[in-house]
Amino acid sequence: MQNFFSTSLSLFFLVATAFLSQGTGTLLHAQENLTAIGEESIEENDIAVAVAKENPSGKDPHINMRKIPTGSFHMGSTFDQVKEYLSQCKKHDRTCALWWFEDEMPYRQLHIDNYWIDIYETTNEQYLEFVLATGHRPALDETCKTESCWGGNIWKDNTFPELAAKQPVTQVSWHDADAYCRWRGKRLPSEAEWEKAARGPNGNLYPWGSASPKNRATYHRKWNGYYTMTNVGSYRNGVSYYGIHDMAGNAWEWVDDWYERNYYRDGPTRNPKGPKDGYFKITRGGSWVNFDDSLRSNLRRWSLPDVRFNDTGFRCAMDADSQSN
C-alpha cells in the first residue's frame, strides 16, 4: 500500500484515536523522488548453525540466526525519557502529544529465556522462494487502482528487479509474515524478544548505542522505487549488541504480539508474549521514511494485521533447542 502522509506522527494518531485512546509513534509512507543511492556490500558474519529441524522449507532454520542468551534486560522508557522524546518529536511536528509515547512506560527489567533470531530482515529473494513453493500471494498491493499506487510496489506478479533481491521484503501483512516464518520452521519474535535483540542487556537507545543513526541506518528518505532501501546488512557499524543488523531503519518489522496500551506496565516480567488478543499488531524499528527519533529501539508502533505497506517487513525468531538450554 502506498501512503501519502508525511513522516511526522500526527496524521497516524489523528486516524488511530478513532480506535484507541492511546497509540504510539510511527509513520509513514512518503512516495516522492530521491536520487539513487549506491549499495553497500553485505558484511560477512559468523553464522550460528545448529542441527536442522523438519520444516516445510526443507532448510536448516538456524542458518543466518543468532542465539540470544538467557538473561535480563531493560525494556521500555522512563517518564523523563518520554518527555525528551516528545521534545524531539515537536522539532518535526508541533502537534506531537505526550500520550503518544506513554505506552512505552515504565522502564523495567525483564527476564527472557534464550531464543534464536534472524541476523537480517527477510529479503525479497527469500520471500520469493516461499511464494513459488507454496503459491502464497506475492509481496505487493494488488488492490491498486492508479498508476501512482502501483508505483509503491517493488514486485510485479512474482518478479522484482535484481537490484532489490537482497533488500527487505515489504508490502507484506502480519499474516503474510507469520505464514513465511512458519514455513521456515520459525515464528515471529515477541515484542520483548525483538526489543532485547535490539537494545542489548543495558537498554540501548538505538541498537548500536546512543550515537546518531547517520551512516548506521537507512532513514529519512523519499520513495524512489528499488533505490529507496538498502541491502540487508549494509551497515557494519549499525549492528546491535548481539550482532543483529538493521533493527533501526530500512523497514518496520512485524512482531508476534497484539497491541495493548498498558502492557508494558501490566504484563509479566518473565518471557512476556503479549495480550491474548486485540485489534492491532505491533511493528518495531522505524523505516526508510522516518526521522531519526522514530528509529529508537523503545518506540512502539501498531497497525491492523491485514495492511501491507511499502515500509514494513519482518524477520523471524525461533525457540532455543531443548538440548541447547
Q: Which mean pLDDT values do the consecutive 10-residue runs of the chain (325 residues) have?
A: 46 40 33 30 32 56 92 92 89 88 93 97 98 96 86 93 97 98 96 97 94 96 96 97 98 97 94 95 97 94 95 97 46
pLDDT at 93: 86
- What is the per-residue pLDDT for 270? 94
pLDDT value, residue 190: 98
The grid coordinates of residue 297 equal: 529501539
Cell numbers that stand for 58 in this block: 526443507
- Name the residue among 243, 232, 244, 238 with its Cα closest to residue 209: 238
Say what the pLDDT of residue 39 is.
32
Give Cα 34 distance to the centre of its chain: 23
Domain ranges of the chain: 10-324
* Partners of 322 in the β-ladder: none
State the DSSP string of 264-294.
HHHS-SBS----S--S-EEEES--TTS-GGG
User: How many Cα atoms occupy the beta-carbon half-sphere of 145 within 13 Å?
Assistant: 0
What is the reported pLDDT for 10? Answer: 46
Q: According to the model, what pLDDT value does residue 324 have?
A: 39
CATH number of 10-324: 3.90.1580.10
CA Rg value for the chain: 18
Q: What is the pLDDT of residue 135?
A: 96
Grid cell, residue 252, equals: 518496520
Cα(71)–Cα(92) distance, rounded to whole angstroms? 37
Torsion of CA 293, 295, 299, 302, to 10 degrees: 120
Give pairs for 242-246: CB < 8 Å, separation 24+: 242/66, 242/68, 242/197, 242/200, 243/45, 243/66, 243/119, 244/66, 244/117, 244/118, 244/119, 244/197, 244/198, 244/207, 245/43, 245/119, 245/120, 245/121, 246/120, 246/121, 246/168, 246/217, 246/218, 246/285
- Measured distance CA(164)–CA(227) in Å, rounded: 8
pLDDT value of position 45: 35
What sign does the CA torsion over 248, 252, 257, 261 have? Answer: positive
Q: Quote the distance between the C-alpha of residue 231 and its chain's center.
A: 15
Mapped onto helix, strand or coil, the DSSP state of residue 132 is: helix
